Amino acid sequence: LTVKTGTVNVTLIPGDGIGPEIAQSVKEIFDVAKVPIKWEEVSVAPILVDGVSTIPADAISSIKKNTIALKGPLATPIGKGHVSLNLTLRRTFNLYANVRPCRSVEGYKTAYDNVDTVIIRENTEGEYSGIEHEVVDGVVQSIKLITHEASSRVARYAFEYARANNRLHVTAVHKAPIMKMSDGMFLRACRELAPEYPDVKYDEDLLDRVCLRIVQNPGPYADRVMVMPNVRRTLTGLGCVCVAARAGGGRGRGLADRVGSACAQLYGDILSDMCAGLIGGLGLTPSGNIGKDASIFEAVHGSAPDIAGKGMANPTALILSSAMMMRHMQMYDFADKIESATLRTIAEGNCTRDLRGKSSTQQFTQGIISKL
Ligand code: ATP
Ligand code: MG
């Protein structure tokens, strides 16, 4: 995608909870910065088709057409009768790599000022894994599913990302001593590719050891990309029933209706939330879901229902996600300009309450705008 002339259409999904407030902030900033992007705003509020809830067709067709979207958080109400919308988007657009960079904000004091990590997590296998069921009363079995193909695909993306971003060191993060076959296969997929990238250093490390080392000294992680499998753990039994049921076809309908599908991508979630904590919390961390058929950029945090509608939300994570999106579209100058204005505003102490500040979402946004 090269943007030299004219504007490019991008799908905007404001989302739930604080989503509309932080999306508004991004829209205002893009307007003032004159970013040559035209938002095509769509709602993904689930609708019922034949008694099953799905994403409205025009949301899907908008993303299909534009191939790029910026998305606010989507709440996944548990037991309210629809499959995770995030999951639907991932499946529909083959969003196989979830990229989560996390960098210290200069001027915002935390325990470390040198956090600069990049986590890339396999993103697609979750819908098939996280399969659990109750064997007998009080005994639950959980199955983890992982394929060589998906492992290899995300590993290749990690090596390519390493090159493109000049972080010439890929570390595969795993628990292979315990998950011998599954994580073992993930490592094998990474090892097979490593020789194709002689300029990129490759090694492996255990998830718990990486956590320990990063909180002791994040410095050594600033030059590398950490790649990990999608180990999906379902937090509610029902969520998995849905996954199993969908894979199994028709039988699933009744079950899918009761589904919450609140799942956690274990390794990547733990590690990225831990890194977020080191730099100032979830209000700061962006992400990109890179896919075969489209790419969707979004904040790592959820819909934050506790502060929704109060004008308190920190829009930084979504703004930084939009900067990732612009870089993906090769609009480097706009990305740099907006990112730098945002970080400078925080450094000046004009920040929201999650960052020990007093500003409202609007006041913070105005601070950024005044620097553009
Ligand atoms: P969801 O179910 O949608 O994930 P949640 O209740 O888990 O919602 P999160 O969005 O994951 O909430 O956020 C966890 C906590 O971090 C909340 O207490 C929320 O207030 C805070 N938080 C998250 N994002 C932001 C933000 N952008 N600005 C300020 N606070 C935030
Ligand atoms: Mg959450």
pLDDT, tens digit, 9 for 90 and up, residues 318-355: 999 999 999 999 999 999 999 999 999 999 999 999 99
Closest atom of ligand 1 relative to the 353 alpha carbon: 29
Report the separation in Å between the CA atom of 353 and the middle of ligand 1, taken as the mean of its atom positions. Answer: 13
Element spanning 274, H or E: helix 266-279
Give the least confident one: 97-111, 254-268, 300-314.
254-268
314 Cβ inside 6 Å of ligand 1:
yes
Report the separation in Å between the CA atom of 89 and the middle of ligand 1, taken as the mean of its atom positions. Answer: 21
- Split at pLDDT 50, 70, 90, the class of 249 is very low
Pocket test for ligand 1, best of 76, 301, 359 (most atoms within 8 A of CB): 301
Give which of 225, 230, 199 is closest to 210, Cα–Cα: 225
Q: Give residue-wise pLDDT tens across range 86-123.
A: 878 888 898 999 999 999 999 899 999 999 999 999 98
Q: What is the ipTM of this complex?
A: 0.95
Q: Does the structure show a pLDDT above 80 at 234?
A: no
Can you give the pTM of this predicted structure?
A: 0.87
Closest atom of ligand 1 relative to the 73 alpha carbon: 3
Q: Does the structure show a pLDDT above 90 at 271?
A: yes
State the residue for tokens 């499998």: 229
> Interior CA angle at 336 toward 340 and 112, to 5°?
50
Contact 95, 280 (CB under 8 A): no
